[in-house]
Amino acid sequence: MRKKYIVTGGCGFIGSNLVKRLASDGNEVVIIDNLSTGKEENVDGGKFRILKSIDEIKQLNENFDGIFHLGMPSSTPIYRDDRNIIGKTVAETITLLEYAREKKLKIVFASSSSVYNKQKPPFREDLPVIPTDFYTETRLFIERLCRVYYEFYGVKSIALRLFSVYGENEDSKGRFANLVSQIEWARDKGETFDVYNEGKTTRDLTHISDVVDAFITAMNSDIDYDIINIGTGKAYTINEIIKAIGLKNYRYVETPIKNYVEETQADTSKAEKVLRFKAKKDVMEYIRSRAK
């Protein structure tokens, strides 16, 4: 059955892949994106209606079936460069929550595995969050805010804590792109790549197609409110990724980022049991397929 969705950040990396998947499944999509790290070209130019501000959602009087919220800055340096983005991101989410309350819509939104920084993997959803960064504190507050909206007003929402998403349409993110993409770009351009932590950093790397599946599965589920990890449950070191990609020019440098996330690995048992979701693609298979 044809449905209609709002996707914030729909011209960005994850959002554009989600938008195209929803459209290919026969659904109608309205995008909200200020194009700060996205491009209209990611969604085939003028094929979709694009609003440039979340405030414009108040003008949408038609009926929708749900909201996918990805239009939030998703990198630590963005928040460290301008801490006012914390308040702006929260305020925009409140605008969406108010709209969802009025229209009785479910929200599925992007949280982050970075909230587990300083914990020992594999990371479970019930682990306490240690304050380490402005970005993760913003995501954590939004998770808690959504819980309050659910308890007070019955607004349904699911937070997906995403683990290191990589794949197609990531070019527009530039220096904020996943390490897999950045290492591939350095190899293709013959540039020297700076590696932190002597390459011992580990990442649970999740392909964009699996993430899109998770968002759609969450929206279609009967879950009213929850927080769920979306990862593979397997971690690789950056040295392993560099070797697999075939990068020759790299150097180990001192980590310039305070509270740098040194390891991630999802405990995926909740996703498998509650959401009935399991990632299908392994990053090493992805890298090998692109080398052919």
Domains of the chain: residue spans and CATH: 4-164+207-230 (3.40.50.720), 167-204+234-267+278-291 (3.90.25.10)
Q: Could you list the pLDDT tens digit for every one of the 292 residues in the chain? A: 899 999 999 999 999 999 999 999 999 999 999 988 888 999 986 689 999 999 999 889 999 999 999 999 988 888 989 999 999 999 999 999 999 999 999 999 999 999 999 999 999 999 999 999 999 999 999 999 999 999 999 999 999 999 999 998 788 777 888 999 999 999 999 999 999 999 999 999 999 999 999 999 999 999 999 999 999 999 999 999 999 999 999 999 999 888 889 999 999 999 999 999 999 999 999 999 887 5
Q: Can you give the three-state secondary structure of 9-34, one letter per residue?
A: CCCCHHHHHHHHHHHHCCCEEEEECC
With 0-12 CB in 10 A as exposed, 13-18 as middle and 19+ as buried, what is 277?
buried
Q: What confidence score (pLDDT) does residue 46 get?
A: 67
Cα 189 to the chain's mean position, in Å? Answer: 26
Contact between residue 63 and residue 43 where contact means Cβ atoms under 8 Å apart: no
Distance from C-alpha of 171 to C-alpha of 181, rounded to nearest angstrom: 8
The closest alpha carbon to 283, from 185, 121, 170, 167, belongs to 167
Residue 29: strand pairing partners: 5
Contact between residue 128 and residue 197 where contact means Cβ atoms under 8 Å apart: no
Task: Please give the helix or strand (H or E) that residue 78 lies within, else none.
Answer: helix 76-81
- Report which residue type is found at 151: E
**pTM of the shown model:** 0.95
Instruction: Give the strand pairing for 236-237 and 202-203.
Output: antiparallel
Q: What confidence score (pLDDT) does residue 292 get?
A: 52
